[in-house]
Structure 1
Amino acid sequence: MSAVARSLFGRRARLRWIHLILGGALAMPYVLVGSVVIGPVIGSADVFGSLPLQLASFAVGLPLAAVTSLFPLTRPLESAAVRWLCGVDTDRLALGPARTRGEKGRTAAWFTLHLGFGGIIAGMSLALPPFAATLIVLPVLSGLLGSRLGLPEVFDHAWVLALAPVAGAVGLVALAGCAAGCGALLARWAPLLLGPTPRERLAAAEARAADLAVRNRLARELHDCVGHALSAVTLQASAARRVLDSDPEFVREALAAIEDTTRRTVGELDSVLGVLREGDAPGTAPAPTLAADLDGLLRRTRAGGQRVSATVDADPEALPPLLSREAYRIVQEGLSNALKHAGERAAVDVRIAVADGELEITVENPVTGPAPSRAGGGHGLRGIADRARLLGGTATAGPAVTAAGETAAPRPGSTSTAGPAAPRTWRLHARLPMKGPV
C-alpha cells in the first residue's frame, strides 16, 4: 500500500506533476492562437465557454507547438527539465540542439506530447480539486444550509449525499493517478525522443576517450618527473647528510645535483600543469629527451651515491623526438625504481641499443629484501607499459635471476614477488619500434 502511495504522491510523482503543469502553461499561448482560429470558423464569440470548443482550440494549437519546437534551444531546455523533474539520467539525454531532420522530428514529437499531456493534466488540476473538495464537504454544507444550497434533485437521496465525499476522494486519487501515469510515460519516452543519436553517442565516446588519454598522459608525466625527482633528491640529501663532515666535496656535488634536479623538475611541472590551466599558455620548458638530458639524468642519479653504469649503443641525436622523449621517461622510471629498491650504492646497469629496427632499453638492479612491492603501487611500471604500447612496442618488468642462480623470464606488468627465495635481480626491458604507429 505504501508503494502505491509513493507512486501517486511521492517526491518523484510530485516533480513529474510539476513538469506536466509546466507543459500546460507552455500550451496556453498555442491554445489562445487556436481559439482565434476556431472562433471565426464556428461563428462563436465565446470559445472558452464551451468544452468542445476549448478542446478544438487545443487540437489546433498543438501543431503550431510542433513547428515552434524547431527553435534550437527547445531540446536543451526540455532535456534539462526532464533531467531535473522526471528523474532521467543525464547520459540518456542529448543536451545539444537538434541538428538533423530526424533529431528535429523527435524533438517536435516530444514537445507536442509534453504540451498535450501537460495541457490535459493542468486543466484537470485546475477543475477537479475544487469540485472534489465540494463533494467531500457537501454533507456538512447540506446539513447546515439545507435547501438554500440549491442542489440538484439527485442529492435529495440520502445515499447519494453520503457517497459524495467518497466520490470526491476518488476523484482526487484519479487525478493523482493520471498525473503519475502521464509523468511515467513521458519519463519512459524521453530517452527515445530526446536521447542522443548513435552519431552523438559516438562523438561523446570519442570526446571521453580523448579526455581520458590526456588525463592518463598527464598522470604519467607527473608521476615520472616528480616521482623521480623526489627519489633522487631524497637519496642525494641522505648521502650528503651522512658524509657532511668527512667529505665536503661530495656534499657540494650532492647539493648541486639537488639544485639541478629541483630546477629541472619545476620547469617540467610547469609545462605539464600548463595543459591543465584552462586559458593559460602552457609552460615553455621542453620535455626532456635522451638526446638532451641522458647524461644529466645519469649524473644526477650518481650524485646520490648510486653506482650507475650506462652502455649506449645508439645515437640519441638520430632518434625521432617522440621516441627519444618516451625512451627518456622509461630510463628515468627504471632509475627511480632502482633508487627505491636497490639499496644504497648498489650497482645499476643501463643499456640502450638499436637492434632489428627497434630501440632496446634495459635497466637492471639488485633487490635487497623482497622484490619491489607496495600497497597500491605499480603505477610507474604500468606507465612504462602504456608508453611502450602507444609506440607499438612492448615492456616487461620482473625477476631476472633467482636466488638459486636460475634465469627467470620477466612477466609483462609484473610488480611483485615474495617469499624466502625472492629474486635478487630486477630487470626492466622495453622494445620500441624506431618507426611506430604514432
Structure 2
Amino acid sequence: MREFARFLFGRRARRRWIHLILGGALAMPYVLVGEVIVGPVTDSRYVFNSLPLQLMSFAVGLPLAAITALFPLTRPMSVAGVRALCGVDGDELADGPPRTWAARRRTAGWFTLHLGFGGVISGMSLAVPPFAAVLIVLPVVAGLRDSRLGLPEVLDHTWALALSPVAGVATLIALAACAAASGNLLARWAPALLGPTPEDRLAAAERRAADLAVRNRLARELHDSVGHALSAVTLQASAARRVLDTDPDFVREALAAIEDTTRRTVGELDAVLGVLREGDDRSTAPAPTLAADLDGLLRRTRAGGLRVTATVEVDPADLHPLVSREAYRIVQEGLSNALKHAGARTPVDLRIAGSGNELEITTENPTSATGAPRPGGGHGLRGIADRARLLGGTCEAGPADGVWRLTVRLPVERIEGPS
C-alpha cells in the first residue's frame, strides 16, 4: 500500500506531473492554431465551448507540434526538462542538437508524445479536482444540490448522495494514477527517443579523447618543467650549502642559477596554466626550444653540480619549431632524471645529432652512481616516450655496458649541420 501511495503521490510522481503540466502549457499555442483551422472547417464560432471541437483542435495541433520539433534546439530543451523532472539518468540522454534526421524524427516523436500526454493530463488536472470537490462536499452542502450545476439526476437518490464523497476521492485517485502512469511511460520512452545516436557517441568519444590529450600534454609540461626545476634547485641549494664557507664564488654561481631557474619556471608554469584559464587574453610565455634555450638549460644544470658534456652536431635553428620544442623537453627530462637518480657530480654525456631524416638524442651516465628508484617514479620516462611517439619517433632507455643510456629518435624533414 505504501509503495502504491509513493507511486501516485511520491516526490518523483509529483515532479513528473509538473513535467506533464509543462507539456500541456507547450501544447496551448498549437491548440489555438488548431481552433483557427477547425472553426471555419466545422462552421462553428464557439469552438472553445465545445469539448469535441476542442479535442479536434488538439488533434490538429499535434502534427504541427511534430513539425516544429524538427528544429535543432528542441532536443536540448526536452533533455533538460527530462533530466530535471523525470528522474532519468543523464548518461542515457544525448547532449546538444541532433546530428541526423533520424535523431530529429525521434525528437519530434518525443515532443509530440510529451505535448499529447501533457495536454490530456493538464485538462484533467483543471477539470477533475473541482468536480471531485463538489462530489465530496455534496452531502453536507444542500445549496449545491439545489443549484444549477448540471449534476447527474442519480445524485438525487439518497444512496447515491451518500456515496458521492467516495466517488469524489476515487476520481482524484484516478487522476493521480493517470498522471503517474503517463509520467512513467514518458520516463521509459525518453532514453529511446532522446538518447544518444551512434554519431553522438562518436562525437562524445572524440571530445573525451581531445580532453584527455590536453590533460596529458599539460601533465607532461608540468612534470618536465616544474620537476626539472625543483630537482635542479634542490641540488644547487644543497651544493651551495656544503661549500658556503669555502667556495663563495660557487655559492654565488649556484644562487644565480637558482634565481634564473625559478624565474624561467614561473614563466613556463604560467604558460601551461594559461591553457586552463577560459577567456584569459593575457599573453603567455612561449614554450622553450632547443634553438632558444639549450645553452641556458646546460648552464643551469651544471650549476647544480652535474658534470654535463654536450655534443651538438646539428644546428637547432634548422629544426622545425615543434621538433625543437619536444626535443628541448626530452633533453630537460633526461638531465633531470640524471640529477634525481645519479646525484650531483655525476658525469653525464649528452649528444644531439642528425642521422638521415632523424634527430637522435642520447644521454648517458654511469649506472654505478644511480641510486634506488624513487617510489612512484617512472613518469619522466613515460612522458619522454609519449612525446616521441606523438611525433612518430622511438624511445629506448635502460642499462647497457655499465651506463644508463636514454636514446630518442625523432623524425624530421631536414637536418643541416652548423654552417
- TM-score using structure 1 length: 0.80
1:23, 1:117 → 2: CA distance?
8
Which residue of structure 1 aligns with residue 363 of structure 2? Answer: 362
Contact 1:21–1:119 (CA under 8 A) maintained in structure 2: yes
Which residue of structure 1 aligns with residue 417 of structure 2? Answer: none
Contact 1:272–1:282 (CA under 8 A) maintained in structure 2: no
1:371, 1:117 → 2: CA distance?
70
The letter for the 1-side match of 2:128 is L
The letter for the 1-side match of 2:19 is H
1:146, 1:51 → 2: CA distance?
24
Going from structure 1 to structure 2, the CA distance change for 1:367 and 1:207 (only over 3 Å counts) comes to: farther
CA displacement at 1:13 relative to structure 2: 2.0
Query: Deviations for 1:249-280, whole angstroms, at most 9, x for unmatched residues?
Result: 10111122122212322332333333333344
Aligned-pair Cα RMSD in Å: 3.3
CA displacement at 1:391 relative to structure 2: 1.5
- Unmatched tracts of structure 2, length 5 or more: 415-419
| Greater RCO (Cα-Cα under 8 Å, separation 6 or more) | 2
1:184, 1:294 → 2: CA distance?
67
1:426, 1:169 → 2: CA distance?
86
SS of equivalent residue, structure 1 residue 276: coil
Query: Deviations for 1:22-75, whole angstroms, at most 9, x for unmatched residues?
Result: 111121222233233333433444333332222112112222323333455433
1:386, 1:200 → 2: CA distance?
29
1:125, 1:363 → 2: CA distance?
81
Structure 1 residues 213-292: aligned runs within 5 Å: 213-281=213-281, 283=283, 285-292=285-292
Structure 1 residues 24-423: aligned runs within 5 Å: 24-97=24-97, 101-138=101-138, 141=140, 152-153=153-154, 156=157, 158=159, 160=160, 163-281=163-281, 283=283, 285-312=285-312, 314-354=314-354, 357-358=357-358, 359-364=360-365, 366=367, 371-375=372-376, 377-398=377-398, 400=399
Contact 1:240–1:250 (CA under 8 A) maintained in structure 2: yes
Which residue of structure 2 aligns with residue 420 of structure 1? Answer: none
Going from structure 1 to structure 2, the CA distance change for 1:220 and 1:53 (only over 3 Å counts) comes to: same
Which residue of structure 2 aligns with residue 18 of structure 1? Answer: 18
SS of equivalent residue, structure 1 residue 246: coil
CA displacement at 1:21 relative to structure 2: 0.1
SS of equivalent residue, structure 1 residue 215: helix
2:218, 2:170 → 1: CA distance?
63
Going from structure 1 to structure 2, the CA distance change for 1:266 and 1:51 (only over 3 Å counts) comes to: same
1:52, 1:338 → 2: CA distance?
87
Equivalent residues, number: 410
SS of equivalent residue, structure 2 residue 409: strand
1:89, 1:147 → 2: CA distance?
50
- Unmatched tracts of structure 1, length 5 or more: 402-406, 408-423
Which residue of structure 2 aligns with residue 431 of structure 1? Answer: 409
CA displacement at 1:121 relative to structure 2: 0.7
- Which has the higher mean CA deviation after the structures are superposed, 200-209 or 11-20? 200-209
The percent of aligned pairs where both chains have the same amino acid is 72
1:119, 1:151 → 2: CA distance?
26
The letter for the 1-side match of 2:157 is D
Query: Deviations for 1:279-304, whole angstroms, at most 9, x for unmatched residues?
Result: 44464533222333333222211111
1:312, 1:215 → 2: CA distance?
32
The letter for the 1-side match of 2:408 is A
- Which has the higher mean CA deviation after the structures are superposed, 218-227 or 248-257? 218-227
Going from structure 1 to structure 2, the CA distance change for 1:367 and 1:293 (only over 3 Å counts) comes to: farther
Contact 1:270–1:283 (CA under 8 A) maintained in structure 2: no
Going from structure 1 to structure 2, the CA distance change for 1:116 and 1:147 (only over 3 Å counts) comes to: closer
1:232, 1:70 → 2: CA distance?
61
Contact 2:362–2:405 (CA under 8 A) maintained in structure 1: no
CA displacement at 1:394 relative to structure 2: 3.1
2:279, 2:407 → 1: CA distance?
40
The letter for the 2-side match of 1:53 is L
The letter for the 1-side match of 2:10 is G
Going from structure 1 to structure 2, the CA distance change for 1:135 and 1:380 (only over 3 Å counts) comes to: farther
Contact 2:23–2:119 (CA under 8 A) maintained in structure 1: yes
CA displacement at 1:383 relative to structure 2: 1.7
Contact 1:267–1:283 (CA under 8 A) maintained in structure 2: no
- Which has the higher mean CA deviation after the structures are superposed, 220-229 or 67-76? 67-76
CA displacement at 1:178 relative to structure 2: 1.9
The letter for the 2-side match of 1:54 is Q
Query: Deviations for 1:339-364, whole angstroms, at most 9, x for unmatched residues?
Result: 22323433334344445754243344
2:372, 2:355 → 1: CA distance?
29
CA displacement at 1:170 relative to structure 2: 3.4
Contact 1:121–1:179 (CA under 8 A) maintained in structure 2: yes
2:144, 2:15 → 1: CA distance?
41
1:299, 1:434 → 2: CA distance?
27
2:211, 2:64 → 1: CA distance?
42
The letter for the 2-side match of 1:373 is R
